[in-house]
Amino acid sequence: MFDIDKWQEIFATIRKNKLRTFLTGFSVAWGIFMLIILLGSGRGLENGVRIQFERDATNSIWIYRGQTSMPYKGLKPGRRIQFTNEDYDYSKREIKNIENLSARLSVFRQRNISYKSEYGNYDIVAVHPGTKVLENVEIIEGRFINDIDVKASRKVVAISTDVKKALFKEEDFLGKYIKINNIPFKVIGLYEDSSERDNQRVYISVSTAQKVFTGGNEIHNLAFTTGDATMEESMKIENDIRSKYSIRHKFDKSDQRALFINNNVEEYEKFQNLFSGIRLFVWIIGIGTIIAGIVGVSNIMLIVVKERTKEIGIRKAIGATPGSIIGLVLLESILITAFAGYVGLVLGVGLLELISPHIQSEFFTNPEADFRIAVSATILLIVSGAIAGFVPARKAASIKPIEALRDE
């Protein structure tokens, strides 16, 4: 294989037929180029969506209140379902295999937050400590709301980087007091949330909010994570919640509007399946394109063999074995395919690298062709080169010297 003569002979024929070799190679290069672009774009889409998902924990389940749409045990439809702290306690007690359970209460009406002369309007969200995991926030300094804050109804607040920038500028903020609706809260931590919208808020303890702002024991929704539960397990939990809550809140179990459950495990898995599907689809298209290229190479090699009939005849007359002839044709085919394909690969990856920084879309991030794709593509190229060369090589090996050498 690493025989200089063989390579010399291959290069000699390639040099003699530059245009033809180029056109053949082009079809293969184009195939690989398209495959890389398609795979890269698919990856970009996938990355975008994954980042969207990672703004919250991907294994989280969120429960929202609704309004009944079906009559149930004499109760009229149109009844609003209300959540209270009891639902939190109940869920914590009754629902198995859950972690980071957190109630949530948004403080509406006024949303004024101020520090000295600086002020702004931000979402005020009252939570349990589990929200740190649920929202997938990154603590930059200090800490998040903890259990003691909730138990003692402390007036403490964790602020986002956006809020800090607006209120404190460069000033120190830990331990300082900010006013939320004119009530002072001590700043205990700074966090960052990759979701822009979620970065426009401050978190306070749910018990504090109930005492200071809303009164009563109402909460708006509940959320928790499911560990490493599979999609089936998460759906079981979801069903369990629905049936338990339907008894607790007296609504028809099949009433989809009384209770909304947002199962991220299920959604995430759905997207993963979707992307596996897209990837498969892209490979099919890509391989289809490459097959067209292979047919091209195969065709050209057949013509090459036909043109070289006499030469092959001479070689056989002076002692070339069929194996050496097959090797010659096969190697040429693999060389053209592999080289052209590599060019396509480099161009495709190059283009992706070039456009990648200029794409700033929420659902399309970092289009890329990783090492694994490159390796698969390389293997694909060599295999396809061999396939393309196989038929012509067999034909070449079966050339009879007497026919090839007949003077005409």
Chain residues binding another protein by CB under 8 A are: 4-5, 9, 12-13, 16, 310-311, 313-324, 397, 400-402, 405, 407
What is the DSSP secondary structure assignment for residue 192, as one 8-state letter?
A: E
Contact 361, 48 (CB under 8 A): yes
Query: Minimum distance from CB of 322 to another protein (Å)?
Result: 5
Which CB, 154 or 316, lies closer to another protein? 316
Which CB, 154 or 308, lies closer to another protein? 308
| Total number of residues shown for the chain | 408
Which CB, 5 or 172, lies closer to another protein? 5
* Separation between Cα atoms, residue 386 and residue 298, nearest integer Å: 10
Which CB, 5 or 228, lies closer to another protein? 5
Which CB, 77 or 322, lies closer to another protein? 322
Query: Minimum distance from CB of 315 to another protein (Å)?
Result: 7
Query: Minimum distance from CB of 323 to another protein (Å)?
Result: 7
Which CB, 155 or 315, lies closer to another protein? 315
Q: Cβ–Cβ contacts within 10 Å for residue 325, how many?
A: 22
Query: Minimum distance from CB of 377 to another protein (Å)?
Result: 33
Query: Minimum distance from CB of 340 to another protein (Å)?
Result: 22
Query: Minimum distance from CB of 389 to another protein (Å)?
Result: 19
Query: Minimum distance from CB of 306 to another protein (Å)?
Result: 16
Which CB, 299 or 324, lies closer to another protein? 324
Say which residues have a Cβ less than 8 Å from residue 133's Cβ, sequence separation at least 6: 57, 99, 100, 225
Of 187, 168, 169, which Cα lies nearest the Cα of 177? 187
Provide the β-strand partners of residue 55: none
Q: Is 356 exposed, middle or buried (0-12, 13-18, 19+ CB in 10 A)?
A: middle
Query: Minimum distance from CB of 356 to another protein (Å)?
Result: 45
Say which residues have a Cβ less than 8 Å from residue 222's Cβ, sequence separation at least 6: 62, 63, 83, 87, 88, 91, 101, 102, 103, 104
Which CB, 39 or 396, lies closer to another protein? 396
**Distance (Å) of CA 375 to CA 40, 142, 342, 380:** 14, 45, 11, 8
Query: Minimum distance from CB of 303 to another protein (Å)?
Result: 17
Contact 103, 145 (CB under 8 A): no
Interstrand relation of 156-160 and 177-180 (parallel, antiparallel or unpaired):
unpaired
**Distance (Å) of CA 360 to CA 38, 44, 357, 365, 367:** 18, 11, 7, 7, 11
* Separation between Cα atoms, residue 165 and residue 71, nearest integer Å: 51
Interstrand relation of 156-160 and 221-225 (parallel, antiparallel or unpaired):
unpaired
Query: Minimum distance from CB of 319 to another protein (Å)?
Result: 3
Which CB, 269 or 311, lies closer to another protein? 311
- Specify the DSSP element, H or E, that contains 184: strand 183-192
Q: What are phi and psi of 365, to 5 degrees?
A: -130, 145
Which CB, 285 or 320, lies closer to another protein? 320
- Specify the DSSP element, H or E, that contains 64: strand 60-65
